[in-house]
Structure formats: structure tokens, C-alpha cells
Structure 1
């Protein structure tokens, strides 16, 4: 187990797979990821944005339509492969390669403590490549048929075609017929593939409209709001080295590391010029030399943003104005 534990990568959120791994949980995550690949957001909204059950009915209908497209493509490919008798060990190996790769992608992202939708896109992309492979096999089969089956013209046929021009016309007709046959086989699959993309586009767009519900976007919105309320509001030249930031309560649990280093990336010299973030619980906690000119005071707003209360903290505006705003 120790050897296996060292070989297995570290899990998400600082966990270790050998400490948190559960076979039943991994199997459940694997099935959930299969559902994701087929368009169903089976996980919690904090990991995928919006769950399938909370999606409107039109999303359900479009996902059902995508299944019909996928089923149609598989039927078309299977029928064509069976009719051509083109099922060889090499072809089976190529199919197993794709399916195995998709399975390994699913397995590798199902062994930790949670499953996030962003991990599914590797498996989903591999599945789309597999569909492209099926289409390529259909087209390749026709090319092979054209190049490996030489035209055999017996003497009677040659005598019947008295001129070279007639022979050329016959060959052109044969080529045209082969191209038509190729198109008849490939076109339905291509149409279904295109239709699948058209059906899933609004579904993917709907999912992305709810990505702000995913847990890591909370922190992203918070830091964006912090920058907007401070350095973006007054400009770097009027902020770095000239102001300190004070935040009430710190319910967001920002670490001291972020408080010290948050503004350093905004500084060309990466020092922050002494501007840092400090946490307070009341106005009296502000330093004696703090003023509206050298300080910015913020309060956490909702669960993903900040509100500038500098004027209120220094008695230049009433706190009641915040509730009115």
C-alpha cells in the first residue's frame, strides 16, 4: 500500500489518495462522469454550476436529442463496418485504444474526494475524437476500396468499348459511382455529427451561464471585487505605498499570506510598496494615524464581494446610507 500510495498522485484540496480512496465512491464518481459525457450534470451545483434536475425542460429535450444523434451514428458505423466485412484485429485494437483512453481518463479523475465538471472535459474531448475516428474510418474504408480493387476489363468488355475515349468515359462513370456511394455512406454520419453539435451548443451555453455557482468562482469574484474597490478605484499611482486596506470581520477567511502579498503583483517591482491588507472587527481597531487619505476600509458584501465603507468608517457618511444603497 505504501508503494502504491507513493505512485498515486496527490488528491484534490491537499488530500492524499491513499488516505481518502474508496472503491464504492470511485465507482460512483465514474458513473457520474459517464453521465457528464452524455450531457447530464449529475453532480452538485457547486461543482458543475447547475444540476440536471434544476435545468429547464428544453435542456432535457436537447440532451435527449443528442442521444438519438449518438445512437444513429453508432448504428450507421456498425452497419457499414458489418456490410464491408472490415472488422479486423487492428481495427478492434484501435477501438479499444480509444475506449481504454476514455476509461482511464474517467478513472484517474474519480479516485479523489470529489468530481468537478472541469475534469470531465478531458474525457469528453476524447469521446468527440472517438466519433471523429469513426467518421474517418468510414471515409478511409472507401479510399481503400477504390485503391485496392483494380478494375478488371476482360477481352469481351474491351472489344465492346471500341475507342479509348469510351474506356475513359466508363472509368469516369465508375469513379463517379464510387464517389456517390462514398457520399451516401459518409453524409448521414456527418449530418448526425453536425446535428449533435448544434443540439449541444445551447446546452453548453446554458451550463456556462451558471458557472459562477461553482465554488472556486466565489474566490475569483472576491479577489476581483477587492481589486475593483481599491487599486482599480483610485489607480495604482495613488494607491501603492500610499494607502493601507482594512477589512471588517474577515468572514471570507482570507489568509495572512494573501493579505500581505495581494497587491505585490500590481507593482512593477513586485514589492507592493508597503501596501497590505489588515483585518479589524470595529472602527476603534483602526490605527490612530489612519485617515481617509491613507486608508481604505472595506466590508464583505454577500458572499462574493466587498463594499467600500471608508467614508462611513471615518465619519464622513452615515452607515444608514449603505442599507439604502
Structure 2
């Protein structure tokens, strides 16, 4: 094949590849979706608590305008509140839907990063690896495992979109509309989460890097910030952002601590858990040796790529493009630095806040690959496998097992035990009994979980289509002696701290308090002959109410025998007969019932004897 034919072949192959490129994208997107489902398997939301339950209660009790535009609140996030309102309207009382929705949204975000990384690197495989690293990160715990994860997902997407618009603006496209779009996105992200107000310097940095002299663009950047502050001042009476845990940034800001938090976030980006166990699951000092080796070797792969970039920034290979290279380095580093700064000024550093910095770092690394392989011939889905593609792949392949290990430590995170407990509470109640749960009194033995009054009042409303759960209430007891006999309007649970859950012991307590040998049924019907053992209450009294809904002919008699005592004869002279038996407190009393009559024209016969009467037994 001569040179002309080779050129024609390459052109034809390139055209064919371009024509069917969408298939490659679909395959990679499908793989990313599968990875999102796989790495998040086992994460569930079955019951709501804390912030999730509070926001649901606001949705259930406030009007649309009150919910989306909470005037006078400590936070004004109307774009997030609008999205949350729509999500809750779709989900309704199907609480288990929140996690699949969160997974799909996170996968969609990974698709977005895939396309950006593909553009930055010029290689689909690099885009796929960047998306895979993003999805497998341990920092996704909040976005997947909490209803409010929607807020973090929205904010992360909008922040990355700001970066992407500014990157395109300073790299040749130069359209003013891209900068205006970035300003609009900046305005929007500030009303998803106010900490992203810290991205303001990035807008001005882009203008400086572009050497912009258009006052309208500078005014757009300033105007977006001023408008954000004006709206905040009018709606919440403050321009300063609130801190985490009910604190105020102005009150808790500590410069040495902020610097410490900034360094810890940088360490998190490089895979090092530089924080306490309750915030990351497993601190670096407690991590297994193999995990540390994976992280260190992965960081070395990144270091080699950075060294390659430095050779371009300072060496002869970057001649003629040095300003463009520095401009992009400053843009990516500025994006990461702004996000780190915004998350360093409060009282702690949570992994979920570092997620956006990791996304920026992955895009930065994709850009580095693109620069190191600029002008090189394409090799299938990469521009150059060795060494730069191999180094990127090694980084992801080494970090993947480390991230999966840290994901296995989720149960140690501060919010995880409570989520497991309320998942269990939902499983042992609504998921087990369905709508029959409504109207019941739910007794919980023990309160080591310190369930708040708000949670006790609101938890079961989430499962009711009418959002009321009328008659349903939660009461805490120290012992099963604190309640009487278990009837159809009661459930009895016990805490199971060892497994961060609850156990339904209703049947056990019912059997313990009232053990039926034969002839007595849960709905109160009793046969002509019945035998049972009942636990007396704290005062030792057992109250009986016998109802005979049939026609009396005279001479009807009930014979009740308590243990070895003389039988008690109760003549039936009306449709309702009351009697009280005495025993020692908490004594197990054996009773036999014999009727000289039965329910005529009864529709059923449950045992060997006929149904006689309805008996209610109370032993409080």
C-alpha cells in the first residue's frame, strides 16, 4: 500500500469512526451507569430522619411558595428547594425511590464529566476513566445515601458547568456568551448552596487570563454577585453564609483552623483521609498497609504526569504556547482552590464538600493528558497509551480498590448508624404491615437512640398518602411490664443497638402476656371452651368484658376457673358482662372458660368447638 492509499485509508477510517462515534459514547455511558449501580449497591433509604425528615415535613405542611421561597430563614436556596419539591411530588410516599434517583443523577453527572474529560483529553478512554473515578469515590456517600444529596449533585454540576464555560471562554472560542452563561450559572449555584459564592474570583480570573477589556463582562461578574447578595439580604436579612451544624461562619471563622482544613482537603483529593473517623470512616493512620500503598503509588502516577506538564511549562516543548498553558493551569487550580476555601471556613470538613474539588482535579488531570499528547496520533480510544495513558489508567486502577475499601467503612460515618436505624424502623413497621400501621400505638422498648419528639411525631406521616398518619403515635417504655395485653392497635419494638436497628417483638410479647392453649382468637372471639394464660398487671387485676351478640333464651352461664381456685359462675343477664379477677402483680394466671351457650347462626367455626362470645381481657 503506497502513501496515497494509506492516506485515503486513514481518511476513510476517520470518517467511519466519526459516523459511529455515538455508539462508543452510548457504550461508555452504559458502563458508567452500571458502575454507578454496582458501587452503590446496598445503600438504602427506607425511612427519613434529621434534615431529610425536616425537609419532607416542610413539603407536607407548607404551601409551594412557602417551601420554595422561605422568607426569613437562615438559608435561601430556592433553586434547590424547587427541585426538591418536584422530586418529593414524584416520589410521594415511596421512600425507597430516593436512592435510585440519586444514583441516576450521579451517573448523569459522571456522563457530563465524561464528555468534558473527553474534550479536554481528546480521548474517550480518558473520559471514561475520569467518570469511573468520580463514581467510585468514597465522597459520594451523601449524594447517594441522603435525600438532600440532590442539593450536592445540583451544586456540583453547576459548579463544573461554570468551570467548563470559563475554560471554553479563555481557550479560543472566546464568545462573550460563554462568560455570560458562566455568570448565570454562578448566580444559580449560589441559590443551590451558598458556599459556592466563593467561585466569584474564578470569574474575574478568567477575564484577566483572557485580557478582557470589555466593561460589560466585568460588570456581568460584579452584577451577578451583587444580585445574589441583594436577594439574600431581602429574603434572609444577611449576606454572610451560615455555617454547618447550626453555626455562623462569622462566629466560628478561625484562620489557622481554616488553613489546616484546606490542607486536609488537598490530602483528601489525593486519596489521603486526613480527618477523624466519624467524618471519613477510616483515618489515614488506621488504613491498612495495602490501601496506603495503592494511594501512594496512584499519587506517584499523578506526580509523573505533573512532571510531564512542568516540562512543558518551563521547557522548550511549551514554547509558543506557554501563556495558554499557564492560563489553563491557573483556571483549574483556581477552581479547586476556591472550592477548598469555601469548605474550610466552618467548624469541620465533610467528605461531601471535597467531591467537587475531586471532580475539578479529575478534569485537570484529563487536560494534562491532552496537553502531553497534543499532536500525537490516535491509538484506538487513546491518543497515546505509553506512558501517559498508562499512568492515567494506573492511577484509576490503584485508587479503585482503595475507594472501595473506604466505602466499606461507611457504617462508621456519623450519619450512617442513624440512617440504618430508621431504615430498620421503616422495615419493621410500614414495610411489614403496610397501611395497617396507621392508627396504631407503637411502643419502643428503650430510647438509647434518643429519638426526638419531632421524629416520633413525623416519621410515619411520610408513608401515608395523605401525609397525616392519623392516630399513629410512638411511646417509649423501659419494660414490657409498662404496657398491658397486646391488642390489634399496638405494636411493640425493641432497640437492637448491636445492629443499629429495631426488632418487632409484638408477637413475642403478645404470647408472653396472653398465651392461648385453645379456643381464643386475636379478634376477641372465644369458643364454647377455651384455655389461656394471662399475665396480671402491676395491680394484679385482670378485667374481663364478655359480649354476647346473640339472642338469649335464659339460663346462659359462663364458668371461669382461675388456676386451682373454685370455678366462678357468671350468669349472663345482658349482652355485656363485666368481671374482675385478682392475682399477685405480674403473676401468670391460667384461666379456663366454659359456656353453656354458643353463637347461633355463626358464619364460621374455627376450632373443634363453636364460637360463643367476644371477650376483651385487660391487665394494665
Aligned to 2:411: 212
Local SS of the residue matching 2:442 = strand
Matched, 1:236 2:434: yes
Q: Which ranges in structure 2 are unaligned for 5 or more consecutive residues? A: 1-232, 515-620
Aligned to 1:10: 242
Q: Distance in 1 between matches of 2:337 and 2:513?
A: 61
Q: Relative to total residues, which structure has the larger strand share, 1 or 2?
A: 2
**How far 1:24 sits from its partner (Å)?**
1.2
1:297 to 480, 492, 510: 492
Aligned to 1:97: 331
Local SS of the residue matching 2:470 = helix
**How far 1:264 sits from its partner (Å)?**
1.2
Q: Deviations over 1:140-182 (max 9, x none)?
A: x42xxxxxxxxxxxxxxxxxxxxxxxxxxxxxxxxxxx7389x
Change (3 A) 1:317 1:14: same
Aligned length: 274
The alignment yields a C-alpha RMSD, in angstroms, of 2.6
Q: Which sits farther off after the overlay, 243-252 or 123-132?
A: 243-252
Q: Is the 8 A contact 1:267 1:273 kept in 2?
A: no
**How far 1:83 sits from its partner (Å)?**
3.0
Aligned to 1:76: 308
1:54 to 258, 265, 286: 286
Aligned to 2:4: none
Matches within 5 A, 1:1-325: 6-81=238-313, 82-84=315-317, 85-139=319-373, 141-142=374-375, 179=377, 187-233=386-432, 235-241=433-439, 243-283=440-480, 285-286=482-483, 291-302=486-497, 304-311=500-507, 313-314=509-510, 316=512
- The structure with higher relative contact order (CA 8 Å, sep 6+) is 1
Q: Distance in 2 between matches of 1:90 and 1:68?
A: 26
Change (3 A) 1:285 1:317: closer
**How far 1:80 sits from its partner (Å)?**
4.2
TM-score by length of 1: 0.77
Q: Distance in 1 between matches of 2:397 and 2:385?
A: 18
**How far 1:20 sits from its partner (Å)?**
1.3
Q: Which sits farther off after the overlay, 34-43 or 294-303?
A: 294-303
Q: Distance in 2 between matches of 1:180 and 1:14?
A: 53
Q: Deviations over 1:274-319 (max 9, x none)?
A: 2222223344543x6x62421112222216222223345456279x
Local SS of the residue matching 1:179 = coil
Q: Distance in 2 between matches of 1:25 and 1:222?
A: 33
Q: Distance in 2 between matches of 1:86 and 1:25?
A: 42
Q: Is the 8 A contact 2:294 2:402 kept in 1?
A: yes
Q: Deviations over 1:16-55 (max 9, x none)?
A: 1111111111111111111111111111111001111111
Q: Distance in 1 between matches of 2:486 and 2:346?
A: 49
Q: Is the 8 A contact 1:248 1:298 kept in 2?
A: yes
| Structure with the greater alpha carbon radius of gyration | 2
Q: Is the 8 A contact 2:309 2:372 kept in 1?
A: yes
Q: Is the 8 A contact 1:69 1:192 kept in 2?
A: yes
Q: Relative to total residues, which structure has the larger helix share, 1 or 2?
A: 1
Q: Which ranges in structure 1 are unaligned for 5 or more consecutive residues? A: 143-177, 319-325
**How far 1:240 sits from its partner (Å)?**
2.1
Aligned to 2:542: none
Q: Distance in 1 between matches of 2:383 and 2:357?
A: 31
Q: Deviations over 1:176-211 (max 9, x none)?
A: xx7389x88674212101110001000000000111
